[in-house]
Amino acid sequence: MSRIVVIGATGHVGGYLVPRLVHAGHDVIAVSRGQRSPYRNDDAWQSVTRVELDREAGDADGTFAGAIADLNADVVVDMMCFTEESARQLVDALCGRVDLLVTAGTIWVHGPATAVPTRETDERFPIGEYGTGKAAIEALLRAESRAGGLPATVLHPGHITGPGWPMVNAAGNFDLGVWETLAAGKPLTLPNLGLETVHHVHADDVAQAFQRAIERPDVVAGNSYHVVSERAMTLRGIAETAAGWFGREPDLSYAPLDEFLSRLEPSHADASREHIMRSPSMSIDAAITDLGYAPRYTSAEAIADGLQWLIDDGQIDTSGRTLHA
């Protein structure tokens, strides 16, 4: 049994990871900014120690990393690191005090791909503040670990999907109306030929990968791994699959990218642009080999699970049509 601190424990992945760790017999300390309820109810939370820490404030005054170190964990899981400076503070505090640091990255460390499926070792072209920031964190942790300092690994999830929040849709954004359009069989415009890709992963599969990494510290230290479903889906494929769940034939048309984006609300246009310009399709061979990672959900199954929750929660109106995935 290990003593494991999970930073960001009540988030999307933490809601699955914390119960997994408890059921595996670990002593879990769940760190979050407040006492927000986890996304998923599970009796395992009754065995978890809850600790409130404000990371933003603690990073600013230099107290957060020390507070984490003082929890005396064997393993620290960091789901909420977004800057290299924040990562540096945690590394300095944990070095020599924990056996492994497991940090959540993102497949956006790669930027636009030159070949697919993209491997962890492929040349990278990160773009945007989020992708470049996560790439800098990964470089720091890899260098620290390989130099004999703090053992660390980074797991790079794709588009995390599941009950509790919207997922990337067939237009490459989070507009819930796209799902309603497909359920109703109404016309939907996609960019270009609809062949851009997105790579979903169910939150429980991400949690599975984190648990497996924790159990293999000697293997994962100094390495990073993609954590996605077995295969990416095209935007057109998502549209056709989702329409079929409601017994519909999709009524699809296509427009050049700039024209497509001009028809969307600014926030949706920004999200679509970010996903389309990257069009990720990632290899999970390394995670399979080193972690024994075995995603339970295909991309379509992950989407369906989250979509059913949105319908049940009243966020999506399917006009009485039932989802049959």
For residues 195 and 51, membership in a common domain is answered with: no
For residues 190 and 306, membership in a common domain is answered with: yes
- Bridge partner residues of 154 (DSSP): 103, 224
For residues 208 and 276, membership in a common domain is answered with: no
Q: What digits encode the pLDDT tens for the residues 264-315?
A: 999 999 999 999 999 999 999 999 999 999 999 999 999 999 999 999 999 9
pLDDT at 38: 75
pTM: 0.97
For residues 14 and 65, membership in a common domain is answered with: yes
**Residue 158 near residue 280, CB atoms below 8 Å:** yes
**Residue 183 near residue 151, CB atoms below 8 Å:** no
**Dist CA 128 CA 290 (whole Å):** 30
Q: What backbone phi and psi angles, to 5 degrees, belong to 240?
A: -65, -40
Average pLDDT across the chain, whole number: 96
For residues 91 and 72, membership in a common domain is answered with: yes
What type of residue sits at position 294?
A
Region of 72 (left: φ > 0; alpha: ψ -120 to 50; beta: rest) is left
**Dist CA 244 CA 303 (whole Å):** 13
The domain total for the chain is: 2
Q: Is 287 within the bounds of a domain?
A: no
Q: What backbone phi and psi angles, to 5 degrees, belong to 44?
A: -60, -25
**Residue 156 near residue 119, CB atoms below 8 Å:** no
For residues 184 and 218, membership in a common domain is answered with: no
Domain range for residue 125?
A: 3-160+200-227
Q: Is 39 within the bounds of a domain?
A: yes
pLDDT at 202: 98
Structure tokens at 10: 């009540």
Q: How large a percentage of the chain has pLDDT more than 90? A: 96
Q: What digits encode the pLDDT tens for the residues 44-70?
A: 999 999 999 999 999 999 999 999 999
| CATH code, domain carrying 176 | 3.90.25
Domain's final residue, options 210, 227, 244: 227
Nearest partner of 102 among 280, 287, 302, judged by Cα: 287
**Residue 183 near residue 246, CB atoms below 8 Å:** yes
Nearest partner of 210 among 1, 27, 8, 18, judged by Cα: 18
